[in-house]
Amino acid sequence: TTIYKNEIKLLCEFKQYVFRKSKKKKQVSISKEIETDVNAHLEKIKEY
């Protein structure tokens, strides 16, 4: 387990993880939804 002090790095790695897992299971549509949510959250973080 890795402890993340940087939330942006954590979210980017989570997005990659979800994409890899969904690609194996052929569930790309779910990963697209998660990706848009993560991108929206990243934009909020970058504004602060």
Q: Is residue 1 part of a domain?
A: no
Decide: 35 and 19 in contact? Cβ < 8 Å: yes
Q: Is residue 30 part of a domain?
A: yes
Q: Is residue 18 part of a domain?
A: yes
Q: Is residue 42 part of a domain?
A: yes
Q: What per-residue confidence (pLDDT) applies to 32? A: 81
Q: Domain of 17?
A: 7-47
**Count of structural domains, the chain:** 1
Q: Which of 39, 42, 33, 36 is nearest to 6 (CA)?
A: 42
- Helix-then-strand count for the chain, H and E: 2, 0
Q: What is the pLDDT along the chain (48 residues), one digit of tens a residue?
A: 566 678 888 888 888 888 888 777 777 777 788 888 888 888 887 776
Q: Is residue 2 part of a domain?
A: no
